[in-house]
A and B are shown apart, each in its own frame.
Chain A
């Protein structure tokens, strides 16, 4: 029996409606008891963490990461990616299926979750929607689900054919899986490497129009509408355009089960941050205009956005040290999401701490139906992040636990320093002051 006590901290658990000084007892990987300060009966031999002056919250949940295994261990492994996640306060991550081979089978799903992978925190695989993510034949969703898959998507290879997407939505709904769409009409983005607009024109780069995203979101919502099945759940990944958000907003008003996530880089940065061809500002969807970025901020503050997700996409240094057009898309994000969200959403833009934490834990967990995650109610998994909300620090990508350091946030000031990350009762990351 392993027991861990977190004492003297300020517990913020939005899902349970708790916001106050509490002591917490974690036992056997679960939350055993929550009590007013000093009221816990201390079990013999329990390890005690002094959280005086610190915030204690449900471990963070990132529903959009690329861990690169199997197949691209030189970019990241499940061990290094989850170590970075733990350092960033995350206790659950949902791993995208664009591995090599594509995760379209129960075997790969189980392989990713095997103890030999050395994951520091819980990994929830997302399965490919179609065989090989080729957009043609649907995978066996029931088999994927029983192997542990929490959603299906063809992520970087969006499903363009209406018929296949309709079938995907219907089949996933039958087994209770969410369909995540990377909304990009790739017919409009061939050969493009940043947002279409005056900046791309000035840099002599071909641009991806915002319609490539919003058009596909609108198409998907139309399909959800036509299916008339309350079990259908469409989740729009890394929303980056005002028009796509407007479509999601409208769909929700119509009572459809359509959710969306926004990445920190899309609510903080614009196409101007590409500067002179900074490949660490190249990702897909690309950094957009200030109008779109401001729409992300608005939608987060207004509650239209369901989750902050990083789209953590590690690449080897040499892969990013090439011509902008030839560089792969993606940036890392697991170690910076909390610090950026607290710095900007909470401190600068005055979003209540509980709501910020909810977007990083309770809401994404609920969105993918991760039971016992995203809350510290008694009986939940002992997934906890303890951080100093007042600590300001500067992110140094060189010190990352990820294998990769392709981030535009190197040198940025962060708010809130993670002291402990506890995954199912075990300390996955410790950095006591």
Chain B
């Protein structure tokens, strides 16, 4: 409910919105906001345990189980790391992408999901260009659905791997998280917030561990109402001021494919929001620099910063495999005595 709404003059209580029935399956990971702190801690602990496991033993954990990767959008990191993660646990994976399947012939997401289930898929990893598609798929199939990015909405495994990266540098050794774990930590997310599912998942995740999130970008890519998305989310349009307060700086690419006709002056954008070596040295010489990829070198970030000593971008990628192993394991074991 919007608590700031003006109350009706008379004593009137309108009907409240119903509680969400999601997730239907305890193994699903639809939104970063769905996870309890215990659930997050469990995933972080399993990520470390699985990463350190002997690969020849690890691939027996979920041997011959079946997971489908259903991708309606192109992807390098997410698809590959999910696939490596699943295979690392012994899971048989199959990839269905929109350009080489019946999706091209007009099959709906519901029918594709039911078909994959009939083929024996025990969980589906979904990347989709429409916000909310994983909810539709989960409701239709009741299978564990792992959201690998839906439209402009969420990318929960990215937020978890970002959290793991942040903890490694700012809270080394911590795996059991609480509402205070990131107290005193400020994270700047800068760039195209409006179109970014990575930004949303991080906004829904990091403040719950005590972090403050500063959002930075031009109005076209960061509407004022983003500041109402949750507690401890603040808009700071001055990029220098934002990174000065931050221990982690997360850069986002401008999502040209989602701009819907919006025209941006890129030179002006670079002048105001590009993370350059000079800016970093002057305002955030110790912060870690993050980027979910793909990087557009020379636009939101300079090559020097991307490759520089403060960059943890490739660590993020590596953490993706560990986090996704934990999430795939959770998908196939939740509700079967495994901890959700």
- When the two chains form their complex, are residues B15 and A324 in contact, meaning their CB atoms are under 8 A apart? no
Interface-side segment among A80-88, A290-298, A422-430: A290-298
B-side interface size class: 35 or more
- When the two chains form their complex, are residues A291 and B110 in contact, meaning their CB atoms are under 8 A apart? no
Is residue B281 within 8 Å, beta carbon to beta carbon, of the partner chain?
no
Is residue A28 within 8 Å, beta carbon to beta carbon, of the partner chain?
no
**Could you tell me which residues of chain B, from 111 to 137, have a CB within 8 Å of some CB in chain A?**
128, 130-133, 135-136
Is residue B226 within 8 Å, beta carbon to beta carbon, of the partner chain?
yes
- When the two chains form their complex, are residues A297 and B8 in contact, meaning their CB atoms are under 8 A apart? yes
* Among candidates B6, B9, B17, residue contacting A275 with C-beta atoms closer than 8 Å: B17
Bound CA–CA A396/B7 (angstroms): 31
- When the two chains form their complex, are residues A201 and B132 in contact, meaning their CB atoms are under 8 A apart? no
- When the two chains form their complex, are residues A293 and B14 in contact, meaning their CB atoms are under 8 A apart? yes
Interface of B is mostly: loop
How distant is B233 from chain A, measured CB to nearest CB, in Å?
11
**Could you tell me which residues of chain A, from 317 to 344, have a CB within 8 Å of some CB in chain B?**
318, 321-326, 344
Q: A residues within 8 A CB of B230?
A: 202
How distant is A388 from chain B, measured CB to nearest CB, in Å?
22
- When the two chains form their complex, are residues B14 and A324 in contact, meaning their CB atoms are under 8 A apart? no
Q: A residues within 8 A CB of B10?
A: 301, 349-350
Interface-side segment among B148-156, B157-165, B264-272, B324-332: B148-156
Interface-side segment among A93-101, A213-221, A266-274, A398-406: A266-274
- When the two chains form their complex, are residues A326 and B17 in contact, meaning their CB atoms are under 8 A apart? no
A197-B225, A277-B136 given as contacts; is B20 within 8 A of A324 (CB)?
no
- When the two chains form their complex, are residues A321 and B136 in contact, meaning their CB atoms are under 8 A apart? yes
- When the two chains form their complex, are residues A202 and B200 in contact, meaning their CB atoms are under 8 A apart? yes
Bound CA–CA A367/B128 (angstroms): 47
* Among candidates B9, B136, B225, residue contacting A198 with C-beta atoms closer than 8 Å: B225
Interface membership of chain A positions 270-310, coded 1 if the CB is closer than 8 angstroms to chain B and 0 otherwise = 10110111000000000001110110011001000000000
Is residue B109 within 8 Å, beta carbon to beta carbon, of the partner chain?
yes
**Could you tell me which residues of chain A, from 390 to 433, have a CB within 8 Å of some CB in chain B?**
412
Is residue B105 within 8 Å, beta carbon to beta carbon, of the partner chain?
no
- When the two chains form their complex, are residues B12 and A349 in contact, meaning their CB atoms are under 8 A apart? yes
- When the two chains form their complex, are residues B131 and A290 in contact, meaning their CB atoms are under 8 A apart? no
Q: B residues within 8 A CB of A197?
A: 225
Interface centre among B140, B197, B229 (most CB of A within 10 A): B229
- When the two chains form their complex, are residues A348 and B13 in contact, meaning their CB atoms are under 8 A apart? yes
Q: Which residue of A lies closest to B261 (CB)?
A: A190
Interface membership of chain A positions 40-51, coded 1 if the CB is closer than 8 angstroms to chain B and 0 otherwise = 000000000000
* Among candidates A203, A269, A291, residue contacting B15 with C-beta atoms closer than 8 Å: A269
- When the two chains form their complex, are residues B15 and A344 in contact, meaning their CB atoms are under 8 A apart? yes
Q: B residues within 8 A CB of A289?
A: 2, 5
Is residue B223 within 8 Å, beta carbon to beta carbon, of the partner chain?
yes
Is residue A18 within 8 Å, beta carbon to beta carbon, of the partner chain?
no
How distant is B71 from chain A, measured CB to nearest CB, in Å?
15
Q: A residues within 8 A CB of B260?
A: 190-191, 206
How distant is A281 from chain B, measured CB to nearest CB, in Å?
9
Bound CA–CA A322/B17 (angstroms): 22
A202-B200, A321-B108, A322-B109 given as contacts; is B132 within 8 A of A294 (CB)?
no
A201-B229, A204-B151, A277-B135 given as contacts; is B5 within 8 A of A290 (CB)?
yes
Is residue B18 within 8 Å, beta carbon to beta carbon, of the partner chain?
yes
**Could you tell me which residues of chain B, from 45 to 88, have a CB within 8 Å of some CB in chain A?**
none
- When the two chains form their complex, are residues A298 and B229 in contact, meaning their CB atoms are under 8 A apart? no
Is residue A205 within 8 Å, beta carbon to beta carbon, of the partner chain?
yes
- When the two chains form their complex, are residues B153 and A204 in contact, meaning their CB atoms are under 8 A apart? yes
- When the two chains form their complex, are residues B8 and A294 in contact, meaning their CB atoms are under 8 A apart? yes
A289-B2, A290-B2, A291-B6 given as contacts; is B20 within 8 A of A276 (CB)?
yes
**Could you tell me which residues of chain A, from 182 to 237, have a CB within 8 Å of some CB in chain B?**
190-191, 197-198, 201-206
- When the two chains form their complex, are residues A198 and B14 in contact, meaning their CB atoms are under 8 A apart? no
* Among candidates B2, B197, B223, B228, residue contacting A270 with C-beta atoms closer than 8 Å: B2
**Could you tell me which residues of chain B, from 88 to 118, have a CB within 8 Å of some CB in chain A?**
108-110
How distant is B148 from chain A, measured CB to nearest CB, in Å?
14
- When the two chains form their complex, are residues A204 and B6 in contact, meaning their CB atoms are under 8 A apart? no
Bound CA–CA A321/B132 (angstroms): 12
* Among candidates B14, B20, B110, B197, residue contacting A204 with C-beta atoms closer than 8 Å: B197
Bound CA–CA A14/B123 (angstroms): 59
Q: A residues within 8 A CB of B20?
A: 275-276
Q: A residues within 8 A CB of B136?
A: 277, 321-324
Q: B residues within 8 A CB of A291?
A: 2, 5-6
* Among candidates A202, A203, A294, A321, residue contacting B5 with C-beta atoms closer than 8 Å: A294
Is residue B1 within 8 Å, beta carbon to beta carbon, of the partner chain?
yes
- When the two chains form their complex, are residues B150 and A322 in contact, meaning their CB atoms are under 8 A apart? no
Q: A residues within 8 A CB of B110?
A: 321-322
Interface membership of chain B positions 220-241, coded 1 if the CB is closer than 8 angstroms to chain A and 0 otherwise = 0001011011100000000000
Interface centre among B18, B154, B194, B200 (most CB of A within 10 A): B18
Bound CA–CA A290/B5 (angstroms): 6
Interface centre among A293, A297, A323, A350 (most CB of B within 10 A): A323
A291-B5, A291-B6 given as contacts; is B17 within 8 A of A324 (CB)?
no
The 9 closest A-B pairs by CB, nearest first: A204-B153, A277-B132, A290-B5, A204-B152, A323-B130, A204-B131, A272-B17, A198-B228, A276-B135
Chosen A-B contacts, 11 in total, with CB atoms closer than 8 Å, are: A190-B260, A201-B226, A202-B200, A273-B17, A290-B5, A291-B6, A293-B14, A294-B5, A301-B10, A322-B136, A324-B132
- 20 more A-B contacts (CB under 8 A) besides A269-B15, A294-B7? A198-B228, A201-B225, A201-B228, A204-B150, A204-B151, A204-B153, A204-B200, A272-B17, A273-B18, A275-B17, A275-B20, A276-B135, A293-B14, A297-B12, A301-B10, A322-B108, A325-B132, A344-B14, A348-B13, A412-B15
Q: Which residues of A contact B (CB under 8 A)?
A: 190-191, 197-198, 201-206, 268-270, 272-273, 275-277, 289-291, 293-294, 297-298, 301, 318, 321-326, 344, 348-350, 412
Q: Which residues of B contact A (CB under 8 A)?
A: 1-2, 5-10, 12-15, 17-18, 20, 22, 30, 108-110, 128, 130-133, 135-136, 140, 150-154, 194, 197, 200, 223, 225-226, 228-230, 260
